[in-house]
Structure 1
Amino acid sequence: MKGSSMNTHMGNIVIDNEVIAQYAGSVAVECFGIVGMAGVSMKDGLVKLLKKDSITRGINVSLDNNKLVLDFHVIVAYGVSILAVTDNLISNVKYKVEEFTGIEIKKINIYVEGVRVID
């Protein structure tokens, strides 16, 4: 199990990276302008919109000096400011994930993999 851990006066707490990715993904798709997470096929080089149940495939969670590093592969809505959407995503995810896990976020990398027109 790959996870992020912290020591408390009561013992050690380990949070699986999949749990952090699931929570961060649910926060991300609530942000204005984010259509969803993107899955990139290395074999074909194709990008596809991931369904809600496989949202964690578009997020990579790693630990660097006991701080989280999150990589998001997203698809944004057509016609919105990418800078505004990504700033909103970073601030929401940083605040909510740090509150949820108690672990500081060092860096959030956002890779815009596509643009979609929202119906």
Structure 2
Amino acid sequence: MPLQLSTELGSIQVSDHCIAIIAGSAAMDCYGLVGMASRKQLKDGIAELLGRDNLTRGVEVRRENEKLHIDLYIMVSYGTKISEVAHNIQSKVKYVLNDVIGLQVEAVHIIVQDVRVLK
């Protein structure tokens, strides 16, 4: 169900897919993030690294009691402090969604699916 925004000039509808693309793109700009991970891992637990074309597969947009929640499934770089990377992603995604669309995000949940060693 699209998000409905009202202005003095009319109404604007923003799809969950659009919100997911913006959130995923904002997250990819953060240091320490290798990429987005698939929300649906294989049975053996291997996380699939998604390219820029599939950012939305690592993002879930939910509405709970009329409040927006974003779940990001990520892979981080080995040697980075996971808590700092996650905090930076949360801050950036909340800021960008507020700045670009004017959305107030209740929470950005980070789910670290994998740690990758960069060569």
Structure 1: where are the runs of 5+ without partners? none
Query: Structure 1 residues 40, 60: closer, same or farther in 2, change over 3 A?
Result: closer
Percent of aligned pairs with the same amino acid: 36
Mapped contact 2:60–2:71 kept (Cα < 8 A): yes
Letter in 2 for 1:18: H
State TM-score, norm by structure 2. 0.90
Q: CA deviation at 1:102?
A: 0.7
User: Would you say how many aligned residue pairs link Structure 1 and Structure 2?
Assistant: 118
Partner of residue 21, structure 1: 20
Question: Residue by residue, what CA displacement relative to the aligned partner does 1:69-112 show, whole Å, maximum 9, x if unpaired?
Answer: 10000000001100110111111111111111111000111000
Mapped contact 1:67–1:103 kept (Cα < 8 A): no
Secondary structure of the corresponding residue to residue 11 of structure 2: strand
Structure 2: where are the runs of 5+ without partners? none
Query: Structure 1 residues 51, 102: closer, same or farther in 2, change over 3 A?
Result: same
User: Which structure shows the higher strand fraction?
Assistant: 1
Separation in 1, partners of 2:8, 2:67: 20
Question: Residue by residue, what CA displacement relative to the aligned partner does 1:23-70 show, whole Å, maximum 9, x if unpaired?
Answer: 111110110000000014355243111111011000001223443210
Mapped contact 2:75–2:113 kept (Cα < 8 A): yes
Whether 2:78 is the aligned partner of 1:78: answer yes
Partner of residue 40, structure 2: 41
Please tell me the root mean square deviation across aligned C-alpha atoms, in Å.
Answer: 1.5
